[in-house]
Amino acid sequence: MRSRSRRSILPPLSDDEALEAARIASAVGAPVEPVALGRRRPFRAPHHTISTAGLVGGGVPPRPGEATIAHRGVLFLDELPEFNRDALEALRQPLEAGRVLIARARHRVELPCRFQLVAAANPCPCGRGASSGDCTCPPQAVARYEAKLTGALSDRLDLAIAVEQPDLTALADERPEDSATVRERVIAARERQEARNGGRANAEVPSESIVLGPGLQRLLADRGGALGLSGRGRARVIRVARTIADLDGAEEVGEEHLLEALHLRRRHER
């Protein structure tokens, strides 16, 4: 549910983005109106049995895949470890480049695919979590599952959130923020980023251009190694910390922003 509500907190499509998304929708025969007039970002949730061509595009004549249809929107992969390994591998390069090249004997097309990847997975095959004490999976199955989770795309994921069983009594007396409120914060953060980065989001700027105070640089240098943070991981943590600071409306990245970013980092690198 959290993944599906994601679209409702994203900022609306800009004029240029809406035009791009409308052209793609029209090319694949999807409704054009929601993107062109409603400015709603595409949300695509292909089933895990999808083929490589279905995901990144292909065929003769070449057709756009889900990655392209999700351009400027969200591509949601539920049950990530169930997806075909080849299809996930094929997603790596387009994810980095924001474009996918489909080369066939007579055709050579390049399609845009700058989407936000959201993926969900159970902690183990039975879903209870291997360290919960209630897990019924054979240990070998858990190991295989973890290997699948840590391979494939996980090193391209910036945020990892453990979704715990909601405690019903806790939910009852807590009023979560509604999507509209969150969306306003997202839009404000986005505007702050674009003003600072010359129209670009934090994800699109080199991490070196993000200013960290000397204390935070030392913290990353001292402890980053102990946490098994690679160069790429370090760059990602810095971008995420900057974004959390933007959501807070903070001019500078503070220690708690950096710590929260470290907390959200995927733990596969160790």
| Residue ranges binding other proteins (CB under 8 A) | 123-124, 129-137, 139-140, 143, 146, 149-150, 160-162, 164, 166-167, 170, 219, 223, 226-227, 256, 259-260, 262-264, 267-268
Residues 27, 206 contacting (CB under 8 angstroms): no
Residue 218's H or E segment, with its range, is helix 214-224
Q: Least separation, in Å, of the C-beta of 128 and other proteins? A: 9
Parallel, antiparallel or unpaired: strands 57-58 and 63-64: antiparallel
Residue 153's nearest CA partner among 130, 120, 184, 182 is 120
Please give the DSSP secondary-structure letter assigned to residue 11: P
Alpha-carbon distance 11 to 249, whole Å? 17
Q: Give CA–CA dist 184/190, Å, rounded.
A: 10
Give 37 or 147: the residue with its C-beta nearer to other proteins: 147
Are the beta carbons of 37 and 26 closer than 8 angstroms?
Answer: no
Q: How far apart are CA 74 and CA 71, in angstroms?
A: 8
User: Minimum CB separation from other proteins for residue 155, in Å?
Assistant: 13
- Provide the minimum distance between the beta carbon of 98 and other proteins in the complex, in angstroms, as a whole number: 28
**Cα distance between residue 77 and residue 95, in whole Å:** 13
Query: To the nearest whole angstrom, how small is the minimum distance from the Cβ of residue 78 to other proteins?
Result: 16
Q: How far is the CB of 5 from other proteins (least distance, A)?
A: 17
Q: How far is the CB of 59 from other proteins (least distance, A)?
A: 36
Between 89 and 269, whose beta carbon lies closer to other proteins?
269
Q: Which is nearer to other proteins, 69 or 135 (CB)?
A: 135
Question: Are the C-beta atoms of 238 and 265 separated by less than 8 Å?
Answer: no
- Closer to other proteins by Cβ: residue 16 or 222: 222
- Structure tokens belonging to residue 51: 């083929």
Indicate the residue among 104 and 263 with the shorter CB distance to other proteins.
263
Shorter beta-carbon distance to other proteins: residue 15 or 165: 165
Residue 34 CB, nearest approach to other proteins (Å): 32
If the CB atoms of residues 96 and 173 are measured against other proteins, the closer one turns out to be 173
What's the N-to-C CA distance of the chain in angstroms?
Answer: 30
Closest to 40 measured CA to CA, from 67, 6, 91, 89: 6
